[in-house]
Structure 1
């Protein structure tokens, strides 16, 4: 049964409704504002290129007209806005068509400005076409917009270098325009990636924070989803028997199905005795589950008060979320919870919690982690070069009632390291 339980823990995925909620929150709380800000920044950069063109438009010789390129770019932008208004979620082929259409203003602009770099005339519609890809990084990922912008910037750079004999020092202006075409898209992509990572971590923490308010032994999202499936399967089987669709005794396949349901229910009943909030919080978190291991065979972590739970969860979050260089080993955290035999009576007990952290040095830890541990209990630290052992002594009330509500996270605390 323990092997089946470990298999279930490793294969856990956040329920679909929770995943959808996380995505909706990411889109509604801050995501749209970032998208709007990037769009405004792109519009300002496009306008700057247009003003740049106006400043040297008189230098174009007869027969060279840069305005068709801008007209083509304006048509593409208008088509993109209309498609976006019609359907908020545009299919991939629409984006592919818009990306391909950008070759028109880029080509017209390159033809209109070719051989004029010695006069200070540089492409304007081409870098503007690359700049309009900035909002796309918030909608369709970052790789394709960066690749398209890099292609446009590469074309501008090659054409500028090809005019080196006649343009002289003006080649620097052409290369600067090539960088202009690529850099804003790269910056916006980096900002979007960082924003999504930050929001994803905070949403995950908010979702698992609900475990702080659970009773001493309770089921989490993983168990509740499994119990719902088991309940549905059991009801379906009983309904088939009651309606006469299945004879008594049961056929071999139905009997096997009933036996499997009974085994899974027994596993859930047995593990429910020691499956505490701490195990739920670690298992159900997309971040903690990869780095944190809980060793609590007696399920005594449920004795911690709401304040202690909140502090321990925040400390584990800060430990597991420590960013490490790529060449370094990953951070691994092992939490061992035991009942200390000392200072134990009917009203007060002491929990001994050991947090073993490997893959990170003490000097790299977030100071807020020590503040969080201060709300759990007194602690001592044994430091190594790449490992830390934190020993916590936590007074608890063994007769405390079930937790009813989660506390607010404390903002102040003393460092006790």
Structure 2
């Protein structure tokens, strides 16, 4: 479906929605994130205890010289400082976070030095591997990228220490490689679980945020429009006050006349564009997932005629369509929504056609709930293409039904789904 040549009004994401999207990534104190962090911490504790018991079992076989306990003492100091600062401030300052990560160098270095060349005796690093487990709750609290990088570096160091002994230890090197894997593999699992959890929370929060737009009037004034109108009102009042107080003479000077003409033109443009600034345009703009992937072509603001139940269904359908990310797909999902008014003198209801053109995802991969949501908007028909599909929806809204009220008659049936 081709893009409409009509000039589109450029929207800017309001600060409220931007802050909400950023907050979705911080799940430490809400959205069930505390339970996730607690579970990860308990799992990390079991791994650390297992490495400590392994150390106790290996201690009698250490030859005279460096022992593994110095590395464990250094690791305990790093963990203790982190725990105390967490309980004392509830937030870990960035500088202390960096210091603690750098502090992990001490137990890793001490443990590698104490166990170097001893794989043939069955002695492997333990405190260094436990340092990787220490990073598991950090990944659940502060983000996964940095802890995963540090854990990978620790695993590489332990793997290199094992591989350099292949000449003297032979097949025993496999044990050293397995210990190196324990420093990174649990951390990878935590990173996958945490990132997936944050994406889930972010999507649900985004849907909850933009659903607040469905209860607005037909021609909704968004946040950006409110700011523009407030500025225009202030400029007009200032100009009128200057004229009324005599600071600007009549007839107006050229610069004042030019300013008055500019204000009048901006007000006319704002009033004309306000007809198309429906709830749908603002829902798309304020959504972190719809904005940039969904375009709306509604020249007369027909979407504002929908009832609240129809709006809920359309918004959910768009959200589910954009949420589809086919594996291996090179092109993102794009949705173009166009509204066209139709005249039906025989019908007592207001009627218009809604076309949803979807590209980048096949019809068979669409969530079945999407068709139920579209069915609540109106009767629909699906036309399949090689690169996507098009959904033609026939919307009917009773004259007596105001937007935000009960659903329109006959809007819940569907065909072609």
Which residue of 1 is the match for residue 61 of structure 2? 59
Which residue of 1 is the match for residue 76 of structure 2? 74
1:231 Cα offset (Å): 4.8
Are 1:14 and 2:14 an aligned pair?
yes
Are 1:37 and 2:21 an aligned pair?
no
1:247 Cα offset (Å): 5.1
Which residue of 2 is the match for residue 367 of structure 1? 368
Distance 2:44 2:255 in 1: 63
**81, 84, 87: which is aligned to 2:86?**
84
- Using a 3 Å threshold, how does the CA distance of structure 1 residues 14 and 187 change in structure 2: closer, same or farther? farther
Q: Which TM-score applies when normalising by structure 2?
A: 0.87
Distance 1:405 1:14 in 2: 30
Distance 1:354 1:122 in 2: 65
Distance 2:175 2:83 in 1: 32
Q: Counterparts of 1:337-352 in structure 2 under 5 Å?
A: 337-342=339-344, 344-345=346-347, 347-352=348-353
CA contact (8 A) 1:362 1:388 kept: yes
SS at match of 1:133: helix
Greater shift in the superposed pair: 186-195 or 284-293: 186-195
Greater shift in the superposed pair: 163-172 or 96-105: 163-172
What are the superposed Cα offsets for residues 118-174 of structure 1, whole Å, 9 maximum, x if unpaired?
222111100111221122223443332222111111111111111223323221111
What are the superposed Cα offsets for residues 377-408 of structure 1, whole Å, 9 maximum, x if unpaired?
1111111121211111122113423426999x
Distance 1:335 1:198 in 2: 25
Which residue of 2 is the match for residue 182 of structure 1? 184
Q: Counterparts of 1:214-253 in structure 2 under 5 Å?
A: 214-231=216-233, 237=238, 241=242
Are 1:391 and 2:392 an aligned pair?
yes
Greater shift in the superposed pair: 313-322 or 163-172: 163-172
1:8 Cα offset (Å): 3.0
CA contact (8 A) 2:353 2:392 kept: yes
- Using a 3 Å threshold, how does the CA distance of structure 1 residues 395 and 239 change in structure 2: closer, same or farther? closer
Q: Counterparts of 1:14-413 in structure 2 under 5 Å?
A: 14-15=14-15, 17-24=16-23, 26-27=26-27, 28-231=30-233, 237=238, 241=242, 261-325=263-327, 327-342=329-344, 344-345=346-347, 347-403=348-404
What are the superposed Cα offsets for residues 15-50 of structure 1, whole Å, 9 maximum, x if unpaired?
2x4433455565322233322322222222212211
- Using a 3 Å threshold, how does the CA distance of structure 1 residues 125 and 287 change in structure 2: closer, same or farther? same
SS at match of 1:134: helix
Distance 1:36 1:372 in 2: 37
Q: Which TM-score applies when normalising by structure 1?
A: 0.87
Distance 1:204 1:397 in 2: 30
Greater shift in the superposed pair: 212-221 or 246-255: 246-255
CA contact (8 A) 1:371 1:415 kept: no
What are the superposed Cα offsets for residues 74-104 of structure 1, whole Å, 9 maximum, x if unpaired?
0011112223334344333222221211111
CA contact (8 A) 1:300 1:338 kept: yes
- Using a 3 Å threshold, how does the CA distance of structure 1 residues 406 and 190 change in structure 2: closer, same or farther? farther
Distance 1:106 1:340 in 2: 72
Greater shift in the superposed pair: 308-317 or 57-66: 57-66
Distance 1:55 1:415 in 2: 69
What are the superposed Cα offsets for residues 203-242 of structure 1, whole Å, 9 maximum, x if unpaired?
111111111111222223343344455556666x469849
- Using a 3 Å threshold, how does the CA distance of structure 1 residues 170 and 415 change in structure 2: closer, same or farther? farther
- Using a 3 Å threshold, how does the CA distance of structure 1 residues 64 and 251 change in structure 2: closer, same or farther? farther
Structure 2: tracts of 5 or more residues without a match: none
CA contact (8 A) 1:303 1:397 kept: no
1:326 Cα offset (Å): 5.2
CA contact (8 A) 2:9 2:273 kept: no
Distance 1:256 1:162 in 2: 80
Structure 1: tracts of 5 or more residues without a match: none
Distance 1:404 1:246 in 2: 51
Distance 1:259 1:185 in 2: 64
- Using a 3 Å threshold, how does the CA distance of structure 1 residues 184 and 413 change in structure 2: closer, same or farther? farther
Greater shift in the superposed pair: 237-246 or 329-338: 237-246
1:197 Cα offset (Å): 1.7
